[in-house]
Amino acid sequence: MNTVDFLNSREDLLSPGISACQGCMAELSLRVILKVLGEKTVLVVPPGCMAGAAVGGWNKSLGTKIPAAMPQLGNSASMLAGIKAAYDLVDPDVHCLAYAGDGGTADIGLQALSAAAERRDNIIYVCNDNEAYMNTGFQKSGTTPHGARTSTTPVGSVGRGKVNFKKDVPMMMAMQNTAYVATLTPAYMNDFVEKVQKAATIKDGLVYLHVLNPCPTGWGTKPENSIAYARAAVQSRYFLLYEYRNYEFTVSAPTKNIREPKDVTEFLQKQKRFAHLDEQDYEEVRRVVNSRWENLKKLAGL
Amino acid sequence: MTRIDALTGNECVAEAVRLCSPDIIAAYPITPQSVVVEVLASMKANGQLKSKIVDVESEHSSMSVVKGAAMLGKRVFTATAGQGLAYMYEPYFSMSTMRFPMVMTLACREMISPGTVWCGLQDALSVRDAGWMQIFCENNQEILDMVIQGYKIAENHDVLIPMNVCYDGFYLSHQTERVEIPDQEQVDAFLPPIDLPQYLDVNHPAIVDPNTVGSYLIRYREDHLKCMQTAKKVIREVNDEFAEKFGRNWGGLIGSYRLEDADYVLVTIGATTGAARVVVDAWREKGVKMGLLKIRAVRPFPEEEIAEALKGRKAYGVIDRSVCFGWNRGIIAMETFAALGKAGVCLPGLSFVGGLGGLDLRTEYVDKAAGMIVEAAKGAIPAGETFWMNEDFL
Ligand SMILES: Cc1ncc(C[n+]2csc(CCOP(=O)(O)OP(=O)(O)O)c2C)c(N)n1
Ligand SMILES: [Mg+2]
């Protein structure tokens, strides 16, 4: 069955009407993940866009057709570990899923996440990376890229956006030998669905899925272009698609099959958060993107 | 059969936890509580503990893990002290306001700064308004007994509030005392299995702990506070049932010693009570009617019992191992003053602050305090004054 037919055959477990922004990829990604994992899933969503817009529900109505809970910002992994430990006594086949923002993951929740991976808690932890604290007004996070304007890295007569570089959480998780690590983005749905399907089969530890979800409101892009930005991120090698399991890196097809990589400006240009960047900044981004790709190639034996 | 052993306070906690057999335990070591975590781990390694232990990296995670497990209606346990309690404040508050029952022991420790690892009740008492029940113990047997009673009280469906069983770090956590350890059948007959719904259930989807409008939230708080009052009755009932079945009566919300006909009352909390007992005997020997009121429950605060116990006396003094910032006195003194004021009971009362940062609360100090209480009754010391049991006190 092709991916479209497969997804059509699966029940939609996320509320049909939610208050996410137009063109929100975090919503699409969550919807697909829930379709793949199915209704024997328990979901935790910490404060952030998806807790507010999708999952929380209002007026006594649920946002999902599966049970859900709201942890605090920094304890998605640890609270889910407790849920999993208890579920092991009830029904070990139930998927315990976290859908946390990059702030809840790369920053305040990193310690608990790393510990859960080390303990090999069998939970599925998804980082919804929209590259800033979007729900609370576009503040910088550890995964905000170099140069990006956010409300806490403003551009002014002196300020030029974020000074430092994006924290590479999937690589950190791989380096501590997390049971399964994969990077995903909704522009490549076959790859996306396959990775979530694989995640569902992992039983020997923590699954870490890092999803790049373009955010039109925070990035300053047109809602109808979200998928195009996700694709440009991959085609420019700004965002690398790969998997890690048992000390092996595998570069995923969409990244592996790039013959002529697009220039990073394909991804950076026309995003309002990068509007102030000049050729020197682009060059800096190119250098980092290239180094990351060279590093991954070595790790994957390419 | 009851086993008699010589155990530290920390070991008593571990023995009691083994007997209560929580489903999930997650605890992170910190002085002076660490031995609790170590003994539970070795019990597990030796096949003596049924609980699953989740080996966490911090107190924020220990409380989060047990909160997650509580969402499935499981019995859970954790323990901490001082900085660990401060570190877990976020899920700590949420655990109680979710109304998940559990027992968490605190080997109480002074709060920094300046740097300290030693005894003080400041850690527990600083979070007395975080929605938990808090019971303070005088000796190791009481610790062991209160962990067992704690689960029964917390899991009562009219209560459903988690409980801190608190004890003075080092003084009890590290001191060895004779204790009686009940056997498993006795505990099983006293403590029924936890009986709570599985809130997170794939067969009955619901959301746990969503954003909630104020019009609901205020009702949750009202109910929480009312159940805290109901807990007073349950604490007394469980105390009485325990006394009947195990032969040890700790008094429920308060304890007392030679209080019945006392003119002057020493009010204490925790391990200091032991020193105060000695002092009471000494004053009785001299023909002065000194008595002792031991505060066991700080949350719920036994305002009625305290007012009743102090009514008609000549004077009293509260000995605190904590400070109430902004009130220039100890926390229990402040709470006691409030309880008496509300009840319209008026008599001279003094506040003594001592034992901070592991300082000894020596019998000489308590003895001097007793003498000052007698002076206060004559009006020689103004009522409401605070005295610091530092090196200049004697
Ligand atoms: C302990 C704590 N500190 C701060 C906050 C405020 N806060 C709520 S959501 C959020 C940022 C979330 O960002 P991210 O995880 O990237 O999610 P997004 O909104 O982008 O989906 C912050 C800082 C909080 N909820 N808890
Ligand atoms: Mg974000």
Contacts of B60 in chain A (CB under 8 A): 74-75, 78, 111-112
Closest C-alpha among A72, A26, A103, A182 to residue B68: A72
CA separation (Å) from A15 to A12, A56, B72?
8, 10, 24
Name residues whose C-beta falls within 8 Å of residue A284's C-beta, 6 or more positions apart in sequence: A146, A147
3-state SS, residue B271? coil
Q: Which ligand is nearest to the CA of A74?
A: 1
Ligand 1 atom index nearest CA of A141 = 16
Residue A177 touches partner B, C-beta closer than 8 Å: no
- Tell me which residue in A42, A75, A91 faces B64 most closely, judged by beta carbons: A75
Give the ipTM of the model, two decimals please: 0.96
Give the Cα separation of A230 and A237 in Å (integer): 11
Closest C-alpha among B41, B21, B38 to residue B30: B38
Query: What is the average per-residue pLDDT within B60-69?
Result: 98
> What domains lie within chain B, and their CATH numbers?
3-246 (3.40.50.970), 254-389 (3.40.50.920)
Closest approach of B285 to chain A, Cα-based (Å): 56
Contacts of A82 in chain B (CB under 8 A): 24, 26, 54, 64-71, 76
Tokens of B40: 């539970």
Tokens of B193: 């299995």
Tokens of A64: 């999902």
CA B177, B182, B185 angle in degrees (round to 5)? 165
Please tell me the residue having the least CA distance from ligand 1 atom 5.
A73
Contacts of B202 in chain A (CB under 8 A): 39-42, 66-67, 91, 94
Tokens of A240: 């690398």
Tokens of B298: 């700080």
Contacts of B208 in chain A (CB under 8 A): 67-70
Give the Cα separation of B208 and A70 in Å (integer): 7
Chain A, residues 197-256, CB within 8 A of chain B, namely none
- Tell me which residue in B60, B74, B206 faces A74 most closely, judged by beta carbons: B60
Cross-strand bridge partners of residue A243: A182, A250
Q: Which ligand is nearest to the CA of A99?
A: 1
Instruction: Say if CB B362 and CB B356 are below 8 A apart.
Output: no
Q: What are the residue ranges in chain A where pLDDT is below 70?
A: 57-58
Instruction: Say if CB B163 and CB B135 are below 8 A apart.
Output: yes
Give the Cα separation of A59 and A46 in Å (integer): 19
pLDDT of residue A15: 87
For the stretch B344-384, pLDDT in tens is: 999 999 999 999 999 999 999 999 999 999 999 999 999 99
Mutate to test the interface with A, among B55, B59, B61, B97 (most CBs of A within 10 A): B61
For the stretch B134-193, pLDDT in tens is: 999 999 999 999 999 999 999 999 999 999 999 999 999 999 999 999 999 999 999 999
Cis peptide bond N-terminal to B300, omega within 30: yes
- This prediction's pTM: 0.97
Closest approach of B384 to chain A, Cα-based (Å): 42
B1 — pLDDT class (breaks 50, 70, 90): confident
- Residue A255 has φ and ψ, to the nearest 5°, of -80, -45
Count the helix, strand and coil residues of chain B and give each as a percent rounded to the nearest 5: 40, 20, 40
Please tell me the residue having the least CA distance from ligand 1 atom 8.
A47
Closest C-alpha among A278, A282, A274, A279 to residue A131: A274
pLDDT of residue A58: 67
CB contact under 8 A, B61 and A67: no
Instruction: Say if CB B173 and CB B35 are below 8 A apart.
Output: yes
Tokens of A259: 């013959």
Contacts of B26 in chain A (CB under 8 A): 82
> What domains lie within chain A, and their CATH numbers?
3-300 (3.40.50.970)
Per DSSP, B252 falls in state: T
Place of tokens 């380096």: A175
Mutate to test the interface with A, among B202, B208, B216 (most CBs of A within 10 A): B202
CA of residue A133 to ligand 1 center, whole Å: 6
pLDDT of residue B184: 98
User: Hey, which bits of chain B come out as E strands?
Assistant: 3-8, 24-25, 52-53, 76-80, 103-108, 133-136, 163-168, 176-181, 207-208, 254-257, 264-269, 290-295, 297-299, 315-320, 349-353, 386-388
Name residues whose C-beta falls within 8 Å of residue B134's C-beta, 6 or more positions apart in sequence: B124, B125, B128, B163, B164, B166, B297, B298, B299
B291 — pLDDT class (breaks 50, 70, 90): very high
CA of residue B124 to ligand 1 center, whole Å: 28
- Of A73, A110, A129, the one to substitute when testing ligand 1's pocket (max ligand atoms within 8 A of C-beta) is A73
